[in-house]
A and B are shown apart, each in its own frame.
Chain A
Amino acid sequence: MKSDEREPTESLCPVCLARVPAERRFAGEEVRLEGHCPDHGMWSTLIWSGPPSYRAWCADKGTVSCSVPREAVLSTPSACPLACGLCPEHQQSTCTAVLEITRRCNLVCPICFAESRPDTPGSDPSLRELEATLRDLFIMQGSVNLQLSGGEPTLRADLPDIISLARAAGFAFVQLNTNGLRLAQELEYAEKLRDAGLVSVFLQFDGLMDATHRAIRGRAFGAEKLRAVERCAEAGLAVVLVSTVVAGVNDGELGALVDFATEWAGVVRGVHFQPVSYFGRYPVGERPRLTLPEILRALESQTGSRIKADDFEPSSCEHVRCSFRARYWVREDGRLELVRSETGACAAELSSAARRAVAATARQWSLGPVGRNDYVGDYGSDKGDTAGAACDDLDRFLEAAGRILAVSGMLFQDAWDLDLERVRRCCVHALVPGRGLIPFCLWNLTSESGKRLYLRTTTGGP
């Protein structure tokens, strides 16, 4: 790549959050986002540090299918990103809607995008308000993935009711974003949530070392995290381990987290890495930043190449530089085998998939030369001699499917690396009662001094 190559884009000034011109500036394997505010001058942030190279990742791997929102709430293009809702300028429909059902939390983590704490002022949105919001979402976007978030959602006594009304509103996949403490502490709580219709737990799980928990969450609670996983296993709830990755704190634990997830394959369906972003509450001082390629390389080196940086692809849903993912079949002996998925997909495409006719389903399978069988032939090898059993490759695959582990990550944008090109392709949207859908990063964005781009207003009342 030629040094000093540039691509124009737009960003926000980290000081005043004004929309300003910016550019991606290339130098060797590194790419920086550089912007200039007429009032506050220039800033520059490292956004890529290959390998893999920026071009290879974006061009060779990334084929993002563009799908405009089914219904834009705002009727006219607005001054993106300052009056979001979504507007007709947005280029991707919702895959995951994140609904904050409380701003309160039972922790005061040193790092928290929502700035939650036990005494966060304001009341929670009422059941009636949530029901109306979910009904509107279903009309706008259909059955997208719904994540109940906060604050800490388990602080609400009526969480099972909220889950039930979400399912009744038509959302098939309802996930709980939680620190797991109540799941660990309260007997049969996981069962209650499951019975209400919960499908998956997005479990805050930064690492396995006490020092990691202390640095990121304020205290050590490895035992509670493990207990939460056990409780979910007993209740039959799928778990995604979610690690906020901070350079110099837990970026050496990525491999250990994959190992832990592998041990719990079948219950743990994914391990998801989120390099820390600097919005909301975070320690004052240096803002160490991990780029996507650095995470991929760390995963390869810390797993002894059991997984490889080259295994990963961007999602076909959000912007190519926002996420990475690969899926592995966890063999009985702990080996990880890559599950190929030449085109990623997400819930945004579900509706068309659901309508596929039988003929179309069959067409998507193609006949290859018998005898090659370089991958799926292995599906049966864990099972010993299956001769005579009514069992074929499809059966073996379906039996093994419960032990498919997703290794993924998402890089949120903060005020120092916000790129409007990425924002407009966002499919992870905060669902804000009374406001509609707002890309997650915009909803949580704060300036250098802590000023929010979008103020959280107090809601409540019947």
Chain B
Amino acid sequence: MASIARLSEDDLRWMCCRCSRPLEVGPVELTYLGNSFTLELPRCPDCGLYLIPEELATGRMAEVEQILEDK
């Protein structure tokens, strides 16, 4: 659960809009250009809908994306 440290309190307060259940932190595998990355993210225990915090999307994910795209 190492990466939980990267999540803010606000990130952990979301509810799933489909299932009305609070999100729980769990492993989510993201793939991009054939490469896979497992992260601990808030996700719905029922339907699997997950939340990517803005800071993660604009920060490390964007950085990795650029490297994979060789930019």
Contacts and interface: CB of A to CB of B under 8 A. Distances in A.
Interface string A335-352: 000011111111100100
Interface string A319-358: 0000000010000000000011111111100100100001
Interface in A367-400: 367-377, 386-395, 397-398
Interface in B1-34: 2-3, 5-6, 27-34
Identify whether the interface residues of B are mostly helix, strand, loop, or mixed: mixed
Interface in B25-71: 27-40, 48, 50, 52, 54, 57-58, 60-71
Nearest to B27: A370
B39 A367 contact: no
Nearest to B69: A345
B31 A366 contact: yes
A404 interface: yes
Contacts of B63: 398
A369 B27 CA distance: 10
B41 to A, nearest CB: 10
Given A376-B36, A391-B2, A370 B29 contact: yes
Contact of A345 (B50, B52, B70): B70
Contacts of A365: 30-32, 52, 61, 65
A402 B33 CA distance: 19
A173 to B, nearest CB: 10
Contact of A361 (B27, B35, B62, B67): B62
A377 B31 CA distance: 12
B29 A373 contact: yes
A372 B36 contact: yes
B38 A373 contact: yes
Contacts of B68: 339-341
Nearest to A389: B2
Contact of B64 (A346, A391, A397): A397
A406 interface: yes
A388 B2 contact: yes
Nearest to A344: B70
A142 B61 CA distance: 25
A358 B32 contact: no
A368 B64 contact: no
Contacts of B61: 361-362, 365, 394
Nearest to B68: A341
B2 A390 contact: yes
B35 to A, nearest CB: 5
B36 A374 contact: yes
A60 B38 CA distance: 30
A401 interface: yes
A364 interface: yes
Interface in A238-261: none
B64 A373 contact: no
Contacts of B52: 362, 365
- Which of B27, B37, B39, B40 counts the most A-chain CB atoms under 10 A from its CB? B37
A406 B67 CA distance: 12
Given A347-B71, A392-B2, A397 B37 contact: yes
A327 B70 contact: yes
A397 B34 CA distance: 14
A393 B33 contact: no
A345 B38 contact: no
B43 to A, nearest CB: 9
Contacts of A376: 35-38
B3 A390 contact: yes
A375 B35 contact: yes
Contacts of A374: 36
Contacts of B67: 397-398, 401, 404
15 contacts: A341-B33, A341-B34, A361-B61, A362-B57, A365-B30, A365-B52, A367-B48, A368-B29, A372-B36, A373-B29, A373-B36, A376-B36, A393-B39, A394-B37, A397-B35
User: Lowest 7 CB-CB distances: which A-B pairs, in order?
Assistant: A340-B34, A393-B37, A392-B3, A365-B30, A394-B60, A370-B29, A390-B5
Given A373-B36, A388-B2, 7 more contacts: A340-B35, A345-B71, A367-B31, A370-B27, A370-B28, A391-B2, A394-B37
